Structure 1
Amino acid sequence: MSPLRFVAMGDSLTEGIGDPVAEGWRGWAALLAAGLTGDEAGVEFHNLAVSGAQTSDVLHRQLPAALGLRPAIVSVVVGVNDTLRCTFDIHAVAARLDQIYSSCAQQGALLLTACLPDPGAMLGLPGALARPLARRQRGVNAVVHALSERYGAVHLHAAEGDWVADRDLWSADRLHPGERGHRLLAARFHALLAARGAAAGSPPSPEPQLPQPTRSASIWWLATAGTGWVARRCTDLLPQLLTLAADEVRHQMRGSSARLDLIASHGVATALAALSAAEQPDAA
């Protein structure tokens, strides 16, 4: 009997940042893989996720490798890094995700997806800076919701809820789950898969193997590696984010903030409508 093949694609969340082990990072996908089967054949797990990856990286770099492995289960959790770039375009994000999901589904793989928390809120940014990022993340999540339904994905709603507010589940950088958070994500995916009859092994334990980082260790991480990590990902965003924040303040002073939400919602709707139109056969 051949092992079940599980391939994970995405960014630092799936790479496992926040859940350190001796050889590097582990993360929710590796924890989930260990509980997918209960037979001797086991699971063949490949983690293709790379820190900083955007939807374009998954489409052009990770997807070809994933399809070459012909997985039975494939996870695609990506999009936050797109929202942190000045090149953000919800139409382009939607088109890329549609192509990624479609390619996996056409090969017969069971697709795992997730919507994710707003990075501005997780970082505790001031309102005028946080709201534009929140609007972008809501847009990405809306696209992921719609496309997950279209392709019959196992979709995890992870954008909000108690787990987002529980600081014990998050690492020092406030953007990645800690070990306990990764274990919770793995357990929630396992429950969804088990409900579909696609996970026969034992769910991952919710209890961490390593002690929770101390406050001093968290502060030290933020002051050293953490600062560099955030700076590298926000270098090209900061000028635009300041412009977006200024626009946010202007609309707030005019009492027209709702217009920005309407523009964002319209962008999502037109992006999804364009995908639907592309699937329609020619009228001729």
Structure 2
Amino acid sequence: MLTFVALGDSTTAGFGDPMPDGSWRGWAALLADGLAPPGQVAFHNLAVSGALSADVARDQLPVALDHKPDVAAVLVGVNDTLRRGFDVSAIGNTMDHTIGSLHRSGALVLSACFPDPGRLFGLPAPLARPISRRIAAVNAVTHAVAARVPGVHLDLNLLPEAYEPRMWSVDRLHPGERGHRLLAGSFYDLLVARGGPVHRRPDPEPGNPPPSRGARVWWMATQGSAWLYRRSRDLVPSLARMAIAEWWYDLRGLAHDLDETVQKETSRALDMFVDTPPGLTTIQKPIPNRQ
């Protein structure tokens, strides 16, 4: 029996890929079905909507280790970019702890770098630039952490399809079924190249018809509006602060200062990995509690 454990946020929880019974499926469940014959995979999805990298390290990792996984996926970081007090060193620290711990437990670890949301969603410049800046920083530390262990790392920026509108759900924030299948298939291909456990490649074509216009409107009026309301209480203030700061610096011709600040912070984050065994950087800084 092969054990596959998935850690992360709403994308790994399956948001954007609804099942007929109203539950979410998602890329991790699709990949699980492709790792071994039916009945030969024990799949545990621990991902939680809104999770930060610290949440994954503190709450999901201990449960994942208890399952003694053969394969583990860790996709997290997007929510960190949308919060006040963005700290790329802390993110790198907790990512290294999570991925390193799973690797030392004997799991083959899957990780990923994310596409640029500013380019993806056509956001206005005062909002697109700070988010893109932060995503680039998260991607840099994620790539560095993944390079420290012999796992499987997917860079979604290298997949042109990731930027196609048809890959995204009605909320424009999560992959749709086709996008989840792209993720599952891409990880499957990397597992094949690495000689990892594989059985059958996930079908890239959706098994469910695309939602009708009426269904999309109904989703936004019911589930979508409730989800947006819950997230507006933590996301909107942070996004507004980022946009205002970007506008203020840009107005004074100082936008390059913001670029340089994040670049310096990213360099410091990467420096902590030098000559440090994977998963042990947490001796430098504790995993913070969620605010």
- Report the TM-score when normalising by structure 2: 0.88
Deviates more, 1:236-245 or 1:131-140: 236-245
Q: 1:126 aligns with which of 97, 108, 124?
A: 124
Counterparts in 2 of 1:174-189, with a 5 A limit? Answer: 174-189=172-187
Alpha-carbon distance between aligned partners in 2 of 1:212 and 1:243, rounded to the nearest angstrom: 36
Give the Å deviation of 1:209.
Answer: 1.2
Identity rate of aligned residues, in percent? 48
Counterparts in 2 of 1:69-148, with a 5 A limit? Answer: 69-148=67-146
What SS class does the counterpart of residue 155 from structure 1 fall into?
strand
Alpha-carbon distance between aligned partners in 2 of 1:41 and 1:225, rounded to the nearest angstrom: 33
Alpha-carbon distance between aligned partners in 2 of 1:244 and 1:82, rounded to the nearest angstrom: 13
Q: Does the 8 Å CA contact 2:191/2:197 hold for their aligned counterparts?
A: yes
Counterparts in 2 of 1:157-172, with a 5 A limit? Answer: 157-159=155-157, 161-172=159-170
| 1:43-96, Cα deviation, whole Å (9 max, x unpaired) | 111111111111111111110010011111100001111112223211211111
Alpha-carbon distance between aligned partners in 2 of 1:225 and 1:42, rounded to the nearest angstrom: 34
Query: Which ranges of structure 2 fall in alignment gaps of 5 or more residues?
Result: 281-291
Inter-CA distance 266–250: structure 2 relative to 1 (3 Å threshold): same
Counterparts in 2 of 1:200-279, with a 5 A limit? Answer: 200-276=198-274
Give the Å deviation of 1:185.
Answer: 0.8
What SS class does the counterpart of residue 65 from structure 1 fall into?
helix
Alpha-carbon distance between aligned partners in 1 of 2:18 and 2:150, rounded to the nearest angstrom: 32
Inter-CA distance 98–198: structure 2 relative to 1 (3 Å threshold): same
Inter-CA distance 227–93: structure 2 relative to 1 (3 Å threshold): same
Alpha-carbon distance between aligned partners in 2 of 1:278 and 1:44, rounded to the nearest angstrom: 33
Give the Å deviation of 1:121.
Answer: 4.6
Supply the RMSD in Å over aligned alpha carbons.
2.1
Amino acid at match of 2:102: C
Give the Å deviation of 1:236.
Answer: 3.0
Amino acid at match of 1:8: A
Q: Does the 8 Å CA contact 1:122/1:174 hold for their aligned counterparts?
A: no
Amino acid at match of 2:44: H
Matched, 1:55 2:53: yes
| 1:10-45, Cα deviation, whole Å (9 max, x unpaired) | 11111111111134111111111111125x762111
Amino acid at match of 1:135: R
Give the Å deviation of 1:189.
Answer: 0.4
Query: Which ranges of structure 1 fall in alignment gaps of 5 or more residues?
Result: none
Give the Å deviation of 1:246.
Answer: 2.4
Q: 1:149 aligns with which of 138, 147, 160?
A: 147
Give the Å deviation of 1:133.
Answer: 1.4
* Number of aligned residue pairs: 277
- Report the TM-score when normalising by structure 1: 0.90
